[in-house]
Amino acid sequence: MAFVSGLGGAAAAGSAAGGKGGLSLGTALAIGGTAFAVGRALQTGAAESSAAEMQAGILREQAAQEQRLAAQRERDFRREQSRLMARRRAALGASGVEAGSGSPLLIAEDFAAETERQARRIREGGEIRATRLAQQSELFRDQARSARTGAFLGAGTALLSGGFRVARTIDPRLARIT
């Protein structure tokens, strides 16, 4: 409000000075409106950019966390399967079956191969989820860049259109140009 009354005071001072060389109320309002529109465009763009960058950072951290969790789940799975295999070998040994040949050996090899496949699936699942999160993060970073670019374009547009409004208040002949 003080800004507007300050502009009104400047316009009144210009009118009191004979109207020559001072700002008319229309000119002062056009200048103030232009400054406000430029500031609003820049502020909005900065806020949107900041929010998008924050979201991108959150998603990057989630991607890293997903990789850590997948690695931990893989280690836990491998450890549990190793314990299970050790219990099977112990049971076979206790029953007098030779675990190093024949069917018990084939079963152990199949078990080891299946354990490896499952462990890779766990790791790859985490990598896929982490990649998706990282891609979403990049989309937000692109959105942040676009918001900054849009802010400058919006401010430039406001400045140009406001400048034209100011020029029309100073030179009424420009009013015919649209």
- Is the CB of residue 117 less than 8 Å from the CB of residue 108? no
How many residues in total does the chain contain? Answer: 178
DSSP-derived secondary structure for 120-165: HHHHHHHHHHHHHHHHHHHHHHHHHHHHHHHHHHHHHHHHHHHHHH
- Is the CB of residue 111 less than 8 Å from the CB of residue 85? yes
Pairwise pLDDT comparison (52 vs 109), residue with the higher score: 52
- Closest among 57, 59, 68 to 133, alpha carbons compared: 59
DSSP assigned state of 96: T
For residue 171, what pLDDT is reported?
Answer: 83
For residue 21, what pLDDT is reported?
Answer: 58
What is the signed CA dihedral for 80, 84, 85, 88, rounded to 10 degrees? 170
At 31, the pLDDT band (50, 70, 90 cuts) reads very high
For residue 92, what pLDDT is reported?
Answer: 78
Pairwise pLDDT comparison (55 vs 26), residue with the higher score: 55
> In whole angstroms, what is the distance from residue 29 CA to residue 47 CA?
26
For residue 137, what pLDDT is reported?
Answer: 96
Task: Provide Rg for the chain, Cα atoms.
Answer: 36
Instruction: Reply yes or no on whether the pLDDT at 14 is more than 60.
Output: no
Task: Using alpha carbons, list the distances in angstroms from residue 57 to 49, 64, 105, 131, 169.
Answer: 12, 11, 50, 14, 47
Rounded mean pLDDT, 112-119: 95
Instruction: Reply yes or no on whether the pLDDT at 20 is more than 60.
Output: no
For residue 8, what pLDDT is reported?
Answer: 43
Cα of first residue to Cα of last residue in the chain, in angstroms, is 31
DSSP assigned state of 95: T
Q: What is the pLDDT of residues 59-109, one digit of tens each?
A: 999 999 999 999 999 999 999 999 999 888 888 778 877 777 778 788 888
Q: What is the pLDDT of residues 129-149, one digit of tens each?
A: 999 999 999 999 999 999 999
